[in-house]
Structure 1
């Protein structure tokens, strides 16, 4: 820090304000640029441990988001990058930490080895004991879930608009026999997919459609059996909402293999948007969560928990949805 200050011709305090992005510090842009240039020339790297000692606490926010949890929680790497950016602007360092084998106390021990100010993880990673362990160590546990929880501060991700948008598109196409393909049970759906399936079903019924909720394990044989059943008993729908791109892609392929014309006889779309949608034929119409929208940002709620301003009423992050039209609906 002292070397940077000397190179830039400023005081050590000024260099510190610039390099630590101290909120409220009024530094002329010319001076700021000089300090940053000096830091670049000297290849300055902040000493995290020293900075934590100076501030009296760690500035590290750990995001436990292994690939499996991201998929189960309906999260997105883009969302995590946004959280990282926003907490960094507030003076914290965001570290992605992924170990799919740990939960509860082992997870808490793993996180505490990093001495973080806070941990952000999906709700299933926490237990009462691990939450207590983190709190006793001065680390704030923050959960991500589709449903509220009394266990710890929980950012609720409301993806209901995905289902509503999907159902409304089918209604606008004139579909009146709509099947909503979910998971194994409504409870599992809510835990893993949020409320998108409930909202799709409710919107279709409100629009006057005959609506069926069908549990569906997305694999080739199950999809083929389901389509054969529809054709055999005369219950072929004219519209299908898949919980995910995988659900919708399997049923789309089974329909085409059975000689059903898509979308002329049955329109199919997914209540999320993954790259697989471009690989099936016809290309799959999807609904995408607008993760760039201000109201979908999680960082404000994360910072509120971290800084003692937690308000559960403000911790619901609603994901606005937009239709991605392709060929299947």
Structure 2
């Protein structure tokens, strides 16, 4: 099937292609009667006409696409919620949000952004210097690695800091850290662990905890033998594994070992005991990211970063 063009709309409406362009682009300064405008809109709707994004970018010199590159790692509840909220925020501003999962080994980054000429490129991991130069030379308004310090737009250290603050306020002085066993998650786990370290007087006792009750129980026994009374887990899934390990080891939470997670996934409130966790306001974070993208595309300064209340503790029974 051939693509419906503005010429097809013009023929059906009985007007020129220029008139179709003026109506569909809502061009100011044109004296087009309401009847003509209605005919053009009805013809476009009846034919299922959709303007070409590539042609519009060529005509206006800018694209409405924001490309987000996801690395090759599991997409958890928090990232999924963030992407959904970000898509909604950008759609309200007339932008198209495109998410591409996978690694550069599957398809080079250059092939992706050249194929869709985005206004902005967001990625969780960093870019090489050559990639940055090429995208900026092509007119991409914003190129940002969301988790790269010092200008990271999705800060991770506050989550670990909130965990450690909550445990120390509850009287726990010797803390453990439950590290994920998936090496692809280091990009999140390392800054969260750094946040815990920044708020503890002694080095936290770090152990890798698989999502397996028997292996988690071994980690719990080692923490218990070392006098650890509170554990900050990388995320809620790892925290749930620690709770399962506590039960398997014949201990109790929070009596023998207090546990705090990150993300507030639905299963956290269903755990026994219910899991205390740290959550990020994903809606506010998405609004901030969208405002940053739109400001860059418009050549304006970006908004100030969100306040510390973006990250907070959900208090339940595991601490």
Give yes or no for TM over 0.5: yes
Cα distance in 1, alignment partners of residues 46 and 152 from structure 2: 41
Verify: 1:159 aligned to 2:156, yes or no: yes
**Could you tell me which residue of structure 2 aligns to residue 179 of structure 1?**
175
1:79 and 1:297 in contact (8 A); partners too: no
Per-residue deviation, 1:127: 0.9
How many residues align? The count is: 304
2:86 and 2:287 in contact (8 A); partners too: no
User: Which ranges in structure 2 are unaligned for 5 or more consecutive residues?
Assistant: 1-5, 29-36
1:196 and 1:271 in contact (8 A); partners too: no
Cα distance in 2, alignment partners of residues 147 and 246 from structure 1: 24
**Could you tell me which residue of structure 2 aligns to residue 321 of structure 1?**
311
What secondary structure sits across from 1:287 in the alignment? strand
1:61 and 1:95 in contact (8 A); partners too: yes
TM-score (norm 1): 0.71
- Structure 1 pair 136–17 and aligned structure 2 pair: CA distance change class (3 A): closer
Cα distance in 2, alignment partners of residues 193 and 310 from structure 1: 31
Deviates more, 1:274-283 or 1:286-295: 274-283
Cα distance in 1, alignment partners of residues 186 and 101 from structure 2: 24
User: Which ranges in structure 1 are unaligned for 5 or more consecutive residues?
Assistant: 24-31
Per-residue deviation, 1:289: 0.8
Cα distance in 2, alignment partners of residues 310 and 194 from structure 1: 30
TM-score (norm 2): 0.73
**Could you tell me which residue of structure 1 aligns to residue 23 of structure 2?**
15
Verify: 1:224 aligned to 2:211, yes or no: no
1:82 and 1:299 in contact (8 A); partners too: no
What secondary structure sits across from 2:204 in the alignment? strand
- Structure 1 pair 324–33 and aligned structure 2 pair: CA distance change class (3 A): farther
Q: 1:248-296, CA deviations, whole angstroms, 9 ceiling, x for partnerless residues?
A: 2222221111111112332211033234435643332222111122686
Verify: 1:142 aligned to 2:143, yes or no: yes
Q: 1:50-107, CA deviations, whole angstroms, 9 ceiling, x for partnerless residues?
A: 2222212333221112561755xx962222233333333444322112223538x922
**Could you tell me which residue of structure 2 aligns to residue 268 of structure 1?**
259
Residue 78 of structure 1 is aligned with which of 76, 81, 97?
Answer: 81
RMSD, aligned CA: 4.3
Residue 101 of structure 2 is aligned with which of 90, 98, 102?
Answer: 98
